Amino acid sequence: MSTSPAAGWRPDPLLTIDDVATWLGKPKNTLYAWHSRGKGPRAIRVGNTLRYRRSEIERWLDSQTDPER
């Protein structure tokens, strides 16, 4: 019996806008404004709500980090 590569795969969690607002310490309206202006972390529209991949938030945070001095 062989194990497929997908056997250990887990989906990247999709976070709600409330989750991301709490994580970043920003109001939800700021996240909505960023999204409408094409700024901030990339979001996925699921129906009429926004969802964020956890990895996308982490990537965006890394891109916002000051370079080492």
| Residue at 6 is within a domain | no
- What residues make up the domain containing 37? 11-64
In a domain, 56, yes or no: yes
Q: What is the number of domains present in the chain?
A: 1
Q: In terms of Cα–Cα distance, which of 36, 69, 62 is closest to 17?
A: 36
Considering just the CA atoms, what is the radius of gyration of the chain in Å? 15
Residue type at position 39: K
Q: Could you give the angle at which helices 17-24 and 28-37 cross, rounded to 10 degrees? A: 100
Answer whether residue 51 is part of any domain.
yes
Domain CATH number, residue 15: 3.90.105
Collapsing DSSP to helix, strand or coil, 53 comes out as strand
pLDDT at position 25 over 70: yes
Q: State pLDDT tens for residues 26-68.
A: 999 999 999 999 999 999 999 999 999 999 999 999 999 888 7
Calpha distance 24→3 (Å, rounded)? 38
